[in-house]
Amino acid sequence: MTKIVFFDIDGTLVNHRNVIPESTKQAVKQLKANGVIPVIATGRAPILIYEIQKELEIDSYISMNGQLIIHEGEVLYHNPIQTETVERLMDQAVKRKDGIILCGSKDIYSNALVSLAKRSSVWTVLKALTKVIPGRVQLSLLKRAIKKPPRKTEFDGKPIYQIILETSMEEEKHYRIEFPELHFARSNKLTVDIISSGVSKATGIQRFLEEVGGKKEHTYAFGDSPNDFEMLDFVQTGVAMGNGWEEVKNRADYVTTSVDEDGIQKALKRFGLI
């Protein structure tokens, strides 16, 4: 009877400064000691997961909202978006003057500024700054940085699993109508994650369980934003963070305290997992 706990990253494992609380580190360590399997389930691309994996020593993850699944270093599932769809969405973003980032399995493609930073020591500095720059400011800077689309030569021939679009919740409705083959999963008010229709963190969890022989009745999940809806609905016990969106709290089975108030540790103790 192996129990599995799925963790979102932003607003769940890490706070708005991109820092993992010490209580969370201790809780995950105790989980593993108790024979419970921790799995990351995030909208982030793999390149932005590695440091969290290393710090928590978690070797399995569902990334890009279910588009790519890795178990102990091995690919269990991958589902790139059709090239024609990616290019058509890019064209629409340019027309609407919306920022856009393309996420691959090993890289992120954006405009020249972001690409330059990503390929140099500046990228390390930028990630370090996220520990001291408030989340709202980070998003504001990102909004300005991604206005220009990536050059097609940057990602030509490479699979794209997720598109991050800088657009309002109101404008997002137009994209939903124009691209019924895509699924829109929002984790903040400035950007929306776009993946293939029919895919979500929930489908990622289902595929993960099928591959490892896990049972749904032994699953738990922690999340804080709308892209966690399906995941929290799917697992046996869905836990919303105290700092999460109200809509998420309303759908969860249990609401714990915030990231910085030892929310993960308290909930894991509440359910007897640690």
pLDDT tens, per residue, the chain with 274 residues = 799 999 999 999 999 888 999 999 999 999 999 999 999 999 999 988 988 999 999 999 999 999 999 999 899 999 999 999 999 999 999 898 888 889 999 888 876 444 444 443 334 444 554 544 445 445 454 555 555 677 777 888 899 999 988 888 999 999 999 999 999 988 788 788 999 999 999 999 999 999 999 999 999 999 999 999 999 999 999 999 999 999 999 999 999 999 999 999 999 999 999 9
Residues with a catalytic annotation lie at 8
| pLDDT for res 116 | 40
Burial class of 235 by CB neighbour count within 10 A (0 to 12, 13 to 18, 19+): buried
In whole angstroms, how large is the CA radius of gyration of the chain? 18
C-beta atoms surrounding 67 within 10 Å: 28
For 262, what's the count of Cα atoms within 13 Å in the CB-facing half-sphere?
Answer: 9
Q: Boundaries of CATH 3.30.1240.10 in the chain?
A: 83-196
In the chain, residues under CATH classification 3.40.50.1000 are 4-79+200-270
Q: Residue 147's pLDDT is what?
A: 57
Q: Residue 81 and residue 195: Cα distance in Å, rounded?
A: 7
* Closest of 110, 107, 113, 86 to residue 99, by C-alpha: 110
Fold of the domain spanning 4-79+200-270:
Rossmann fold (3.40.50)
Q: So what CATH class is 83-196?
A: alpha beta
Residue 120, pLDDT score: 39
Antiparallel, parallel or unpaired: β 61-63 and 37-41:
parallel
DSSP reduced 3-state for 121: helix
Q: Tell me whether strands 37-41 and 4-7 are parallel, antiparallel or unpaired.
A: parallel
* Contact criterion met (CB below 8 Å) for 209 and 158: no
Give per-residue burial for 136-157: e unless 16+ CB within 10 Å, then b.
eebeeebeebbbebbeeebbee
DSSP-derived 3-state class of residue 159 = coil
Per-residue pLDDT, 119? 41
pLDDT value of position 224: 96
The answer to whether residues 166 and 194 touch, using CB atoms and an 8 Å cutoff, is no
